[in-house]
Chain A
């Protein structure tokens, strides 16, 4: 449990606003980055296919008995430019927008941010995305061209995969999950999700609550309290039964048959207890730290 908590915190980076508050941005995980890229890649492919079909449709339906030369050339120019913009502009143009994210990144709740906290400039966006050429498109088109000519032998495929692999897994080899493009552009990708304001667990004292002996409240610290908060919010019946049984056994309390009620009362009481510690500057991080005496 403790190692997991440390791992989660590992992706947090200090990010101080001009007002002096640390927003503690959370870096995007490698999985969500890959997911976002796959979504974008799929969308690009779909756009390419749609564009090609439209071009064929335009070219074949324009004149009687075959396309006229003017239309043919016009459609050809459009297609070529469309392909170029799609390949080189998809990522850059979306990331230059106010959302700082491609559709794939938006779906995954990600955003590109300048590492130094300054405004994300066009130059940085272009730099980070031009690098995709050597990360993805170069080995891909190389492989495609060789395969089309029947020249793609095992060695070439291995080489192309190895080349891509180095760049593909580059984010896993550095602490900040930077792509080569991020490295050169001075950017990183952070999570930027919405979170609704959920219900207050403790609320106001409308009813009488269970009373716990002081010894029962000294068992746990903030980490356990927040884990209990998670259990109460997800409302998984099995977890509630297990946690209630564990706490009862540890505190030596009798079972009164109402697990959820017991846990929410215990949560409120523990919260009050730990908060009273906070007020005098004593924060008990977890059950492994000595409680305030």
Chain B
């Protein structure tokens, strides 16, 4: 069978996500998310994207630390309470319709393993230009780095802005004075 390793890893990620969604204990849900993330990182490595694999694996470690910080030492880590049957049935039906409609879209995509952007080796698409001329124009042997920091550095600037803003929001929410000023204010 072709691409067996991708099927196995993707099945691992799907099973990990399902267990994380359905389990009652929050801590085990977080740990299952971590397992799914490491499976995804391994899959990036098999998909020949080592930059993404390194970034994903270290980001996953920090995300696990953050998520465990919120779940541990809380009183109610177990989920209790009933779930509304009618709402769940409607949601599942809705999602099933979306899934069946969405799978039709994938017929229009190129076959897995033959990307359309670099299919003809003519050098007339952007990706082909990056591969062929990237090292001459920027001097970087790692083409991904030359794309994110030279050709498309605007994206990286926007990314830095978004990261700065989200961290600023987190710090503003978490700092100690915020609630006191609100409640003792005029």
A and B held together in a complex: no
B residues at A contact (CB < 8 Å)? none
